[in-house]
A and B are shown apart, each in its own frame.
Chain A
Amino acid sequence: DTEVTQTPKHLVMGMTNKKSLKCEQHMGHRAMYWYKQKAKKPPELMFVYSYEKLSINESVPSRFSPECPNSSLLNLHLHALQPEDSALYLCASSQERGDPYEQYFGPGTRLTVT
């Protein structure tokens, strides 16, 4: 079973709103990731958690705030976003960070900022 789930599937928010994206996996994976994907572009890494600790932040603006409450859950808190932040936000997980472990993606949350 290589399932990663994400909620919500779609989200529309105003620039003054605060919202959260949620990701869950029950594969016992110890590494979890947030990616952002714009149309016709490949996914761009935002954050990596390994053993519930933030190990990579790809210079993401502070209006995006990740949280890993436990080894199965990953949240992305959103505040004061801009219209250009509209994109598909993908969560992924892997058994461990790094080689040779494969990453599995969730279905994504399609975010529109108005």
Chain B
Amino acid sequence: RKEVEQDPGPFNVPEGATVAFNCTYSNSASQSFFWYRQDCRKEPKLLMSVYSSGNEDGRFTAQLNRASQYISLLIRDSKLSDSATYLCVVRNQGGKLIFGQGTELSVKP
């Protein structure tokens, strides 16, 4: 089993749609959780850290459920510019970032 597993993609959605990405992690001792986005042939960019209380940044909401070892990202009112690959990332006890395989999102007009 992979340490971080994400929904398989691609997700193809119309502009304005709400889309949710899910991620599970296997190491219950993990302490830090992140969502990164990566555009084609570019570097990963930090989208948001994920906290137990949940956090929101504009149209983006991230949730963490430690009991279920589950992380989610909700994007409301999708824009064309949201098209990218979304990487679920967990930091293990050794301080190493463990990346999920990524979920590709394509927002269509």
Contacts and interface: CB of A to CB of B under 8 A. Distances in A.
Q: Which residue of A41, A42, A48, A97 has the most chain B CB atoms within 10 A of its CB atom?
A: A42
Interface stretch (A14-22, A63-71, A76-84, A99-107): A99-107
Interface residues of B, number: 20
B7 to A, nearest CB: 14
Interface in B66-109: 87, 91, 94-97, 99-102
A48 B49 CA distance: 21
Interface of A: 2, 41-43, 45, 48, 56, 88, 90, 97-100, 102-108, 110
The 3 closest A-B CB pairs, nearest first, are: A42-B99, A98-B95, A105-B43
Interface of B: 31-32, 34, 41-46, 49, 87, 91, 94-97, 99-102
